[in-house]
Every structure is written in C-alpha cells, then in structure tokens.
Structure 1
C-alpha cells in the first residue's frame, strides 16, 4: 500500500505517517497586503436553497461524549442529487474555554483517511492556550472515514496480508498480479461499503465542510488542516472563496499534483529525511549505520533487500517483510523526536536479526492493534479516496519509466513509491470530477506553512501551493519533520496564532 501524507501520530508513539506564479515587482501587489477577515463575522453569501437547504439548515444535536461534545450531521451522498440518499458525518467539539468565542475552528489531520475525531484531544494540546480560549475546536471524520459512513473492505488477517506483501514488479506478470490483488480489494470494498464508495472524493468532502460551517452557525470558515488536510482546504477555498475566513494549511499537498509527481516528491522527501536521520545517528554513539551518510543509506537499502529475500523473525507468527520494514522506518521520520525509536529498531533488526521493533512501528502506522484488529480504517480509506481523486492509466511501460525516474531520484526508498497506478487500475467505481482551477480567486489571505525537510509533504509543495492560491502566503519552518504548527518553535506558533486570532498575515518570505 502507498504511503499517506498523514499527520504524525505522536500520541501513539508516546504510548508505545505545479502552477508557478511569477510576481513581478511593481506589477502585482504582494499577496499579504490584505488582512484576513474577523473570524466568525462578516456578510456571508446566501446559503443554498432547494433540496440542499435542509442540510444547510440542520440543527446539530450535541451530547456529552469522551471527546467533549458529539453530534451527527447529515450530508447528501451525491451533491448532484441532494434529494437522493444521505450519509452521516461524525462531529466532535471542544468548546472554547473563554467567554466570547470567535467561532469554530474546524480540523483535519491528514491522510486521506485519518480521523479528525480521534485527533481532537491531540489538537487541543497543539494549539495555543489563546486559540483554545477563543475558538471551539471542531473535528469531523470525513465521509468514508472511521465513524462517517466508513469504507469497509476486508478483515484484519486480509489487511495483514495486503500490507505485508512484497510486490514483484520485475515482470509484466508480477505487475498484473499486483493490479489483480488491488482489484480484488476494490471489489470487497464495494461489496461491503455499497454505493457510498463512489462518493468519497475530496470535492464532496469540501462541500461537506461548507454544510458543517453553516450548521455550526459560522458565516465564514476558519480551518486548520495538516498534510492532506491542506488539499481539502484548498479545494474548499476554490469552491467557496467568499466564505474563506482564516485557513491554515500546514504541510502542503497541492491538489494539482499528478500521482506520479506526488510519488516522486514523497520518495525524495523520505530519502532526504532518512539522510538527515543517519547524519544525526552517526553523530552519536551506538548508531547501527556505520561510515559516511551515503554508506549508511546503502546499509539501509541492503537491509531492505535482505528482508525481501529473507523476512526477519519478530517473535510472533508474523515475519518482518521488506514492505513492513519500510513502514517501520517511515513512521519515525515524521518527527525528529521519534528518531531514537528508529535507531533502536534498526539496531535490533540489523545487528540482531530481530524485526519486532520495526514491526511495532509499522503496526502503529497502519493502526493495527496487538490483537490483530485495526482501530481505524485509514489504510483502506486512503486508497478509496485517492482512487476517486486521481487515477492515471496503469500502462506498464509508462509505470516502468516512472519507476526508474523515482528510484534514480531516491535510490534508498524510491522503489516503495513506484507503480502507484496499480492501486487504482481496477477500482470498481469511476473517478470523480475534479476542479478546473485551484486558484481560489477572491478568497481572503490563506496561510500555507511548509517545513524545509518535511518527508511526507516536501517543502517545494508548500511553495507551489502558496503560489497556486491567489491569496496564499507562505510561512517557512527551517527544520525536520512533517508539519510545523504545534511541533516546531515559538516563531511558527506565534505567527499562526496571530493569523488565527487577529487576522495578521505574516510578511512575505517569513522564515522561522
């Protein structure tokens, strides 16, 4: 399965994932000259009428729950037929701790396929105290995710097999076998999910955001989206530019990327993050990767190749395959604070032939519990959403050429990002229609945050998204890890807080 652009699951680890606009000086005013509107105020455009009106006018019934307050919203399954079947969205809220809240701050942690409801408690520790005082934090599981008419495909053992398998791309027959395997997965998803499988695309989810905005009583949308959540936020801004309030898009994933561009970008991002980890590891004591950084990378590549031929024992009935080993390596690269876990796991695997620690990390990435169940449906939801959003022809010669390019750009891990088109080649529902443009003309200033050595959403993507959005303003964190707000430094926190609380947009070119 592919690697998702997902919010780093720091809470789980603690307990145990192009349009360039040239601005010519004097010809175009700097985009940050405008100020963001006051949160929760303004003159909204008229809400929809007709069959959509009942969704926009719904009253959410809140009850006390473990997350704070919970409610269920109704949205059309198909926005082209709002009189047809509807689906449910799980919503959770933490009320502003101050007396006069600015409004709602909607959250998305990434994926696609990650649960925002599960993320809510973590989000409350990431935003500043002042943001908690003045905003209701509102999370919802996007359509198809976890509690919101979820994608259902195969049982735990079936998912174990899918994730652990090392695909054979060396022959045409091997590639066809991979496509057939994913085709069987898609057929199971359709059988167990039903018609909703065809309506989980990002454009529909962005329309859901607007329904929730209205149901919450907010005239404009304030939003904090990480990773894939940035693509969702950009899509919302394009659909509803006049309803953009204060949007923070952290760890940018431009919705204009092709699957091939996304695969190569992520491969290079993880290669660079692995290089930084190895340099740090070799600067300390007891690093299992010896010699130079390039030598360390070669040792990781050799280890992954050996795991393909001879999976490692883990002390369980599951061996550590090369695919599982890669997921175990990838997860700690999401945050520099996780690097000690990776050093320990690689020491056990390379020096002692013990794959148990890497297996634990891989299981945390895929939400697998020790009893063999999966606590979330993020893996299958990731595939289902992506196959609706972007589907390129699974032409074998083209895939081979793309794979060669990816592996040349990222020799250590590139093979794990190649042949992504096989996932959707036999997907049982047609792709959704995207948008012709993502410039969001007329939207208020939108804050895009990028980290210079982000593995999952490489920094050039943040530059690209900030240029793509007509009102995008880029804020840069010079450092490691996936996303920055709530996990980097005070400079980033203060800049984002000033934008969310006062509408103050950072000066063009601000770096922290």
Structure 2
C-alpha cells in the first residue's frame, strides 16, 4: 500500500455566471435550484436588530506553536508572518442523551503580524469532509490570509478526526476492503460483499466509542462548538462552516440561535437531507466537475489530447476489470480523481494539467503520480473518524435492495461516478439510525450563503434549500455563487471572499447577491 503526506490537488475552471435571480416560490421551503443559474433571489423583510459583536475570548485556551507541523501535514509551504497555534479542550461525550465521559477536541488558531491582539476569532469547521486543521493552511495559502488582518481564525476538528483524538476502530483489512468497496472478493453481489465487511466494521467502531455510539452526529458536533464558546466566555460565535461543517454550523444555529454573531454557510446541505438524495447530489457534482475539468483540459492543451474524458473512462474501465494502476480498485481511482478536483492547490491550469498528467501516465503504465493521488484521497477522506461521523449523519438510508437498483441506475446515468457513489451508501447501512438536528427558529443573525457550481463533495444544489431554512428561521440571507471547480467558494475563489470579509466586519449582508467566475 503506497503512503504519502496529505496533499491537496488543484483544479479551477473559468466560466462566467450571469447576475440574475429567479424568485423563490411562495412557500420557500420548496425552493429548488435549476441548472447552472443563480439559485433564487432572497425574500426580504424588515431589517432586524444587528447581530452580536465578535468578542475576544475572556478565558483562552492553552495554545502552543505548531506552525511548521500543521503546514507540513497539509503539504503547504509556511506563509511569512503567519503563526499557527494548536490547543485542545474537553467536551462532554453526550450532553444531549446524558452519556458520561468526554472527548478531546483539537483546534488550530491562525494569526498574522496584522491580527489585532483584542480581535474576536472566526471559528471555521469543515466537519467530516476533511480535517479543518488540514483545510485551514490551504485556505491561508490562497485568500484566507486576508481574514487575519482583522480576526484570528480558529479551525475546529470534528470529534474523532484530525487533532480531535483521532479514532482507530476498524481492522486494517476491513478498512482497506471498505476503501476498495470489496471489489476483489468473489461472488457477483457487491452489495452483499461490502455489507458483510461494514457490519464487522460497524460493530468494532460502536464498541470502541461506547457509550457514545450515538454521539458523533451533527448535533453533538454543534455542542462541541458551544463548549468552546462557554470555555472562551464570549456571548456568541462567528461561524464559517464549509460542506458538512456548514451543517454543523446550521445545527448550532438551531440549538443556540441567540449565540450566533455571524453565520457563513459555504457549500451547505440541508440538516435533514436523506442519504440517497445527498449521495446523488454529490455524484452529480462529481460528474459536473469532471465535465468542467475536461473542457478546461481541452482549452489548455493538457497532456490528455482531444478526449480527456475518454482517457478517464479508459482508466476506470481498466480498474473495473481488475487492471487498475498498481492493482487499485475502481473506487480508489474514482475517489482520487474527485478528491483532486475538490481540493485544489496552486493555479487552475497547472493543477488541472497535473491531474491530466497523472491519468496519462497511468494509462501508459507509469502509476506513480496516480498512486500518490489515491493515497492522498484515502488519507484525507477515509479515516475511521470520518466513517463514524458521516454514518452518524446519514439519515433515512436506503435498503440493500434499493442500493442494488441504484448501482444499475446510477451506473448508466452517471457513467464515471454513479456505481461507486451507490455502493458508497452501503458503508452506513448497519450504523445505528440517527435523527436530524433541530432547524433554526428565531434566528435574527443574517446568513451569508456561498455555493460552488461544480462541487465534487456536496454538489451544487444545497444553497437554495438552506436559504429556505434561513428564511423560515427569520434570518435574511444573501448568496455568493462561484462557477468554478472545488469544495468551498470562500476557500478557492478570491472573488468570493470580499463579501465574507465585509459581513464579518459589519454584521450586515451585501446589498446584492454576488456571482463569481472561476
């Protein structure tokens, strides 16, 4: 098994988004997206009182310098003048259900020479998508460092992930079989093969985290943020949630609506979305990202020649037949490609060509570059903590027979990623069922929503549904839409960051929605 330092691979694409806004339906709960256009105009109401201020902690954590270690772990060069400090705090294992015990929550704080000593922090979380402590350096290497001129950033790793007491609960064999989706087992029923493995893995992990086997969902992650607020002794938190982290931030707004100073939800999904719907949105996002990357590849004369998607199909077909690079499964290859598209690093042309070169090399028999991408994807997205948290969040899961139907249906509808996406749902079928967090009510703090047109992690359809949730909660909102490729508009688009900075400063939303080219 090849191993490498976690890296983040870059791709972006230049498309221009038109600045028009279709109206929402009379009942905003049923607001939907349509195609690549902007996701609906915001309904307006009387301007609420201003949100709470962003205050500096009265009782801070015990920070220790970790600049070199955290930048190195994220495969990002340290930034001149930027200091990273690490700390941890204990949170109750299950304050919701009353199970005793505690968990350790790891956090990383970023500051620069310009950061005011008395400035309140922006709390960032990427949830279970990848460790926040890995995404923070990537953000700082782009436009995220601009935040530090007025606020420190504190990235919170979700429990069991990254620096938050990372879980180790699966057998090595089971972990590898789940990563490969049990492709190399005998028999013609991949759902049954993978289901048997995940049953063993589920038992092992629930035994390991007992009595907290129901304490790793979005609701409990939100309570970990509340513990941070009370530890700091501040009246409210300024929150930036990306992807699953946006669900965590929204869950916090649902349980503590009067403790939210700022609410920035980037690439969000609704709190109560069903597992099948969430997975299909992700698969659609993977397909859209691949299409956008292929268009860019052609425009920049990338190493794959006139048919980039054909080269991807050839690679996936070889893996499906058991002839993948280095013996890799089709799931490993597909995850490597979608991870490279989701978490870009560097300029879009060079990074897009780097992915193209890895695919071209692999099709020619040189597997080194692609194996590095495979190992990066496994390290970033396939840890035991991510298995536990993502399954705890998976609601209304399909039956095994329904997954079998989707393996066929999605395999035809989404030829590059559909089958892998359908089988990915099997990993959570045996996990104890959870419930959706409470949706916000009485939320007077405005909500800033950001979305990405081509997002391989959550797809591009969540902003409209979450806008409806905000409206129903009494929160005004505006949108920042980026038509590039990646996971997190605020992370990867310089155009998307100025509205965030202005909102952090004033607590007031932009006057209009913002639409950003790639």
- Which range, TM-score by smaller chain? 0.7 to 0.9
C-alpha deviation, 1:229, in angstroms: 0.9
Deviations 1:259-315 (A, max 9, x none): 111111111111111111112222343542535xxxx5355334312222132454x
Aligned counterpart in structure 2 of residue 407 of structure 1, from 404, 408, 411:
411
Q: 1:211 to 1:32 in 2, by over 3 A?
A: farther
Q: Give the whole-Å Cα distance in 2 for the aligned partners of 1:320 and 1:32.
A: 57
The equivalent of 1:6 in structure 2 is none
C-alpha deviation, 1:38, in angstroms: 4.9
Residues 1:327 and 2:335 are matched in the alignment: yes
Contact preservation (8 Å) 2:454, 2:486:
yes
Residues 1:250 and 2:261 are matched in the alignment: no
C-alpha deviation, 1:129, in angstroms: 5.1
Q: 1:29 to 1:355 in 2, by over 3 A?
A: closer
1:215-234 correspondence runs (5 A): 215-234=231-250
C-alpha deviation, 1:238, in angstroms: 1.2
Aligned counterpart in structure 1 of residue 387 of structure 2, from 369, 383, 386:
383
C-alpha deviation, 1:462, in angstroms: 1.6
Q: 1:300 to 1:21 in 2, by over 3 A?
A: closer
Aligned counterpart in structure 1 of residue 371 of structure 2, from 359, 362, 368:
359
C-alpha deviation, 1:493, in angstroms: 1.8
Q: Give the whole-Å Cα distance in 2 for the aligned partners of 1:418 and 1:194.
A: 29
Q: Give the whole-Å Cα distance in 2 for the aligned partners of 1:400 and 1:59.
A: 53
| TM norm structure 2 | 0.79
Q: Give the whole-Å Cα distance in 1 for the aligned partners of 2:400 and 2:99.
A: 42
Q: Give the whole-Å Cα distance in 2 for the aligned partners of 1:173 and 1:402.
A: 13
* Cα root mean square deviation, aligned: 3.2
Contact preservation (8 Å) 1:269, 1:456:
yes
**Which deviates further from its counterpart, 206-215 or 184-193?**
184-193
C-alpha deviation, 1:439, in angstroms: 4.3
The equivalent of 1:25 in structure 2 is none
1:43-82 correspondence runs (5 A): 61-67=61-67, 68-80=84-96
1:89-488 correspondence runs (5 A): 89-95=105-111, 97-99=114-116, 101-112=118-129, 114-127=130-143, 131-154=147-170, 159-167=175-183, 173-285=189-301, 287-288=303-304, 290-291=306-307, 296-314=308-326, 319-334=327-342, 335=344, 336=348, 338-350=351-363, 352-367=364-379, 379-427=383-431, 430-436=432-438, 438-470=439-471, 471=475, 472-488=477-493
Q: 1:305 to 1:378 in 2, by over 3 A?
A: closer
Q: Give the whole-Å Cα distance in 1 for the aligned partners of 2:375 and 2:141.
A: 24
C-alpha deviation, 1:157, in angstroms: 6.0
Contact preservation (8 Å) 1:88, 1:148:
yes
| TM norm structure 1 | 0.80
Q: Give the whole-Å Cα distance in 1 for the aligned partners of 2:223 and 2:435.
A: 14
C-alpha deviation, 1:31, in angstroms: 5.7
Q: Size of the alignment, in residue pairs? A: 460
Structure 1 residues not aligned, in runs of 5+: 1-8, 23-27, 43-56, 368-375
Q: Give the whole-Å Cα distance in 1 for the aligned partners of 2:228 and 2:148.
A: 20
Q: 1:36 to 1:449 in 2, by over 3 A?
A: farther
Q: 1:84 to 1:320 in 2, by over 3 A?
A: closer
C-alpha deviation, 1:384, in angstroms: 0.9
Q: Give the whole-Å Cα distance in 2 for the aligned partners of 1:92 and 1:286.
A: 37
Contact preservation (8 Å) 2:181, 2:424:
no
Q: Give the whole-Å Cα distance in 2 for the aligned partners of 1:271 and 1:239.
A: 35
Structure 2 residues not aligned, in runs of 5+: 11-27, 33-41, 68-83
Aligned counterpart in structure 1 of residue 44 of structure 2, from 2, 16, 30:
30
Q: 1:166 to 1:40 in 2, by over 3 A?
A: same
Q: 1:124 to 1:78 in 2, by over 3 A?
A: same
Deviations 1:336-379 (A, max 9, x none): 453112110111122x1333321110111122xxxxxxxx7852
SS in 2 for 1:199: coil
Contact preservation (8 Å) 2:171, 2:201:
no
Deviations 1:388-437 (A, max 9, x none): 2224355233223333443343222211111344212223xx2333235x
C-alpha deviation, 1:244, in angstroms: 1.4
SS in 2 for 1:469: helix
**Which deviates further from its counterpart, 407-416 or 164-173?**
164-173
Q: 1:29 to 1:456 in 2, by over 3 A?
A: closer
Q: Give the whole-Å Cα distance in 1 for the aligned partners of 2:420 and 2:199.
A: 19
SS in 1 for 2:100: coil
